[in-house]
């Protein structure tokens, strides 16, 4: 096979791309996930999305703490309670060993899913309340300048 020098660079770049990328086989290629694995994945996805929301809890908490008013206290308390519920869930969560009976694993993940759904509702409610409060009571820096 003859390789013209002008073709070397594209070839090298293709080889480079192949060499620098790491194999990432989709799950489908490794066999379909079992019912237990699928239930675990659903649970973990919910956990990860809720954890991403935790940043918002703390953003609202910081904002509300700046109000220095008793009226904001219940909202801060609500945000902290939601955060505590999430951390409590995390600390009690013990994923069953993969050698456990599949039915037992599925039952555990579904039970945890229900608990986490409750935490999720708590997050939503407290975040919505905090948002409503801050919208109805904008902090000094949030008030748009009066038009002349």
Binding site residues, other proteins, CB under 8 A? 2-3, 5, 8, 11-12, 15-16, 19-22, 24, 44, 47-48, 51-56, 58-59, 61-62, 83, 87, 90-91, 93, 95
**HEC-encoded secondary structure of the chain:** CCCCHHHHHHHHHHHHHHHHCCCCCCHHHHCCCCHHHHHHHHHHHHHHHHHHHHHHHHHHHHHHHCCCCHHHHHHHHHHHHHHHHHHHHHHHCCCCCCCCCHHHHHHHHHHHHHHHHHHHHHHHHHHHHHHHHHHHCCCHHHCCCCCC
- We find the least distance from the C-beta atom of residue 148 to other proteins, in angstroms, to be 27
CB of 105 to other proteins, least distance (A): 14
- Give me the least distance between CB of 112 and other proteins, in Å please: 10
> Among residues 131 and 146, whose Cβ is nearest to other proteins?
131
Minimum CB distance to other proteins smaller for 63 or for 133:
63
Closer CB to other proteins, 27 or 95, in the complex: 95
How far CA 85 is from CA of 22, 47, 51, 64, 138, in Å, comes to 38, 12, 12, 20, 28
Choose between 44 and 101: whose C-beta lies nearer to other proteins: 44
Q: Using the minimum distance from each CB to other proteins, give the nearer residue, 99 or 148.
A: 99
Least spacing, CB of residue 25 vs other proteins, in Å: 11
Q: Would you state the structure tokens that stand for residue 58, as one six-digit string?
A: 């703390």
In the complex, the smallest distance separating the C-beta of residue 2 from other proteins, rounded to whole angstroms, is 8
């Amino acid at each position: 096979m003859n390789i013209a020098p002008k073709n070397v660079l594209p070839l090298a770049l293709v080889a480079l791309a192949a060499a620098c990328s790491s194999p990432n086989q989709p799950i489908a290629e490794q066999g379909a996930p079992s019912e237990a694995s699928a239930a675990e994945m659903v649970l973990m996805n919910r956990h990860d999305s809720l954890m991403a929301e935790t940043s918002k809890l703390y953003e609202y908490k910081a904002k509300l703490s700046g109000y220095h008013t008793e009226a904001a206290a219940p909202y801060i308390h609500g945000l902290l309670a939601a955060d505590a519920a999430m951390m409590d869930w995390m600390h009690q969560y013990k994923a069953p060993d993969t050698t456990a009976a599949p039915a037992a694993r599925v039952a555990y993940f579904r039970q945890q899913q229900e608990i986490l759904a409750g935490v999720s509702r708590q997050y939503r409610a407290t975040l919505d309340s905090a948002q409503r409060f801050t919208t109805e009571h904008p902090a000094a820096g949030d008030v748009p300048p009066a038009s002349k």
